[in-house]
């Protein structure tokens, strides 16, 4: 027998805000799937290059380590006019890889949004105005003070306005 107070869809409610549904220890923007920057990727390439061997038709053999000796200071690489093209190609690859890396790092936020909005069918709560309490002190020899609706008060960078006559 169905309980008389049980909702047919137990997750159906008025909504939730992002701060209410998310643990502060794991915000999506802090969970980068690939959080390496350009210098870390160059260091990774340097380590990997020692293991990638090549052979030319002329009988030369070696690995790609000398390429990364040229990239010790990638910021000054643009001024080097005699740099080999493969070094510039690798830096161009890193620049393009940043875009793919950005898409990959947004995956956790997209997954979380999909989970809450589509699977759990939760919706964000509408915006709600802040409320503050103000304390007024009347000037001496005045019994009554009126503050008109819409009077603006500042609190640092924030601005508050009265919503009715006080």
Compute φ and ψ for 16, nearest 5 degrees: -150, 150
Say what the pLDDT of residue 17 is. 63
Of 66-70, 80-84, 126-130, the poorest mean pLDDT is in: 80-84
pTM: 0.53
> In Å, how far are 17, 42, 131 from 125, measured between CA atoms?
5, 45, 17
- Helical pair 85-105 and 107-114, crossing angle rounded to 10 deg: 20
Domain segments of the chain as ranges: 18-119
Which of 113, 110, 155 lies closest to 135 in space, CA to CA? 155
% of residues, the chain, pLDDT over 70: 78
Say whether pLDDT at 23 is over 70.
Answer: no
DSSP states along 4-40: TT--SSTT-SS-B-HHHHS-TT--GGG--SS---HHH
Q: CB atoms < 10 A from the CB of 71, how many?
A: 19
User: Mean pLDDT score of the chain, rounded to an integer?
Assistant: 79
pLDDT tens, residue by residue, 136-146: 777 787 777 78
Cβ burial 116-133 (10 Å sphere, 16+ → b, else e): beeeeebeeeeeeeeeee
> Please, are residues 166 and 147 in contact by the beta-carbon 8 Å criterion?
yes
pLDDT tens, residue by residue, 106-124: 888 888 888 888 888 888 8
Radius of gyration for the alpha carbons in the chain, expressed in angstroms and rounded: 31
pLDDT tens, residue by residue, 24-71: 656 666 777 888 888 899 889 889 988 888 887 887 788 888 888 777
Say whether pLDDT at 7 is over 80.
Answer: no
- Mean pLDDT computed over 151-161: 86
Say what the pLDDT of residue 97 is. 94
């Amino acid at each position: 027998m169905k309980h008389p107070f049980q909702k047919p869809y137990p997750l159906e409610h008025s909504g939730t805000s992002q701060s209410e549904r998310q643990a502060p220890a794991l915000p999506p923007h802090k969970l980068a799937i690939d959080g390496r920057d350009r210098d870390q990727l160059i260091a990774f390439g340097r380590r990997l290059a020692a293991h990638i061997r090549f052979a030319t038709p002329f009988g030369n053999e070696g690995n790609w380590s000398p390429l990364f000796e040229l990239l010790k200071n990638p910021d000054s690489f643009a001024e080097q006019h005699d740099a080999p093209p493969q070094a510039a190609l690798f830096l161009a690859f890193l620049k393009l890889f940043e875009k793919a890396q950005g898409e990959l790092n947004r995956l956790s936020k997209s997954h979380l949004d999909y989970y809450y909005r589509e699977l759990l069918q939760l919706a964000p709560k509408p915006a709600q105005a802040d409320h503050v309490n103000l304390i007024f002190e009347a000037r001496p020899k005045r019994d009554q003070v009126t503050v008109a609706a819409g009077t603006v008060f500042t609190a640092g960078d924030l601005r508050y306005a009265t919503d009715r006559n006080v």
